[in-house]
């Protein structure tokens, strides 16, 4: 039995021009902080997607791809490609970080609350960034995604992931329960984010959110489905932050 390699990430991007553009920005931003050697990235592209004969594939892709990769790697990270990486991410897999599954929050008080079952909307997790270290968790999730339950849930794999996260017998970690924020949790306050040296920071203050410390923004996630303005950050952040994001998604090292 071959020893597993430590770590791999994957993302999914079909040939839609908007997705290809966001993919390029995502990869460029990731590579500003982590080399291919440190964090290998598998891109599930159009050719790969065309080979998957499953009309529901886009709603269960995360466990589908993860269950193959977990045979080879200790930790599998999934990233949506409509994100910009804004800082080092090694706290997601460092030696003192252990979990079966690690997730990021889905909501913030400025968005309409969404949840499933009786999970509090503030504790409902998003599928934009999922770290998986347990084959059992992945197979359990994958089996539910292929069960009759699947079609009963609006957000399909994400709802089922939340049920397992909150009700399952798994060691779970919320990466946003820290002074690092990843993804949608900062979305209501993009205008307030500042640059501080190499970092993007959301300063603490009155934001109808009990923040007792500044938050370092590690990932910006656009989400929002097919919005034609999706990923156009130029109007959403201060000019200094826009300049920093231009650098992150650009080709220059």
Q: pLDDT, tens digit, for every residue of 129-148?
A: 999 999 999 999 999 999 99
Angle at 57 between CA 37 and CA 186, to 5 degrees: 60
- pLDDT reading at 229 higher than 70: no
Question: Is residue 193 very low, low, confident or very high in pLDDT (cuts 50, 70, 90)?
Answer: very high
Q: How many CB atoms lie within 10 A of CB 168?
A: 18
Cα distances (angstroms) measured from residue 80 to each of 19, 25, 224: 10, 12, 12
**Using the 8-state DSSP alphabet, how is residue 143 labeled?**
H
Percent of the chain at pLDDT > 90 equals: 84
Which residues are within 8 A (CB) of 152 and not within 5 positions of it... i.e. 6 or more apart?
A: none
Closest among 239, 233, 174, 236 to 29, alpha carbons compared = 233
Angle at 157 between CA 152 and CA 158, to 5 degrees: 100
The predicted structure's pLDDT at residue 206: 60
Determine contact, residues 230/82, Cβ cutoff 8 Å.
yes
**Nearest-angstrom CA–CA distance, 94 and 211:** 25
Say whether 45 sits in a helix, a strand or coil. coil
Helix (H) or strand (E) holding 38: none
Closest among 107, 104, 113, 120 to 177, alpha carbons compared = 104
Closest among 52, 48, 38 to 11, alpha carbons compared = 48
pLDDT digits (tens, 9 = 90+) for 43-94: 999 999 999 999 999 999 999 999 999 999 999 999 999 999 999 999 999 8
| Residues counted in the chain | 253
Pairing type for strands 41-44 and 5-12 reads parallel
The predicted structure's pLDDT at residue 198: 92
């Amino acid at each position: 039995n071959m020893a597993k390699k430590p770590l791999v990430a994957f993302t999914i991007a079909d040939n839609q021009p908007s997705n290809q553009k966001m993919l390029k920005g995502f990869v460029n931003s990731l590579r500003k902080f982590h080399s291919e050697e440190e964090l290998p990235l598998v891109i599930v592209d159009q050719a790969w997607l065309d080979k998957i004969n499953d009309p529901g594939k886009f709603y269960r892709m995360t466990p589908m791809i993860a269950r193959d990769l977990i045979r080879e790697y200790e930790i599998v990270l999934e990233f949506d490609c409509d994100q910009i990486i804004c800082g080092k991410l090694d706290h997601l897999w460092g030696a003192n970080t252990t979990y079966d599954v690690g997730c990021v929050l889905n909501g913030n008080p400025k968005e309409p609350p969404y949840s499933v079952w009786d999970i509090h909307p503030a504790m409902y997790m998003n599928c934009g960034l999922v770290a998986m270290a347990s084959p059992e968790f992945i197979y359990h999730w994958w089996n539910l995604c292929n069960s009759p339950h699947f079609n009963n849930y609006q957000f399909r794999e994400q709802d089922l992931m939340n049920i397992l996260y909150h009700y399952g017998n798994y060691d779970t970690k919320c990466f946003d329960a820290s002074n690092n924020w990843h993804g949608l949790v900062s979305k209501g306050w993009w205008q307030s984010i500042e640059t501080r040296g190499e970092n993007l920071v959301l300063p603490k203050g009155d934001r109808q959110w009990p923040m007792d410390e500044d938050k370092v923004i590690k990932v910006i996630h656009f989400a929002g489905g097919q919005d034609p303005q999706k990923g156009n950050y130029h109007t959403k952040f201060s000019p200094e932050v826009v300049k920093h994001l231009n650098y992150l998604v650009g080709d220059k090292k």
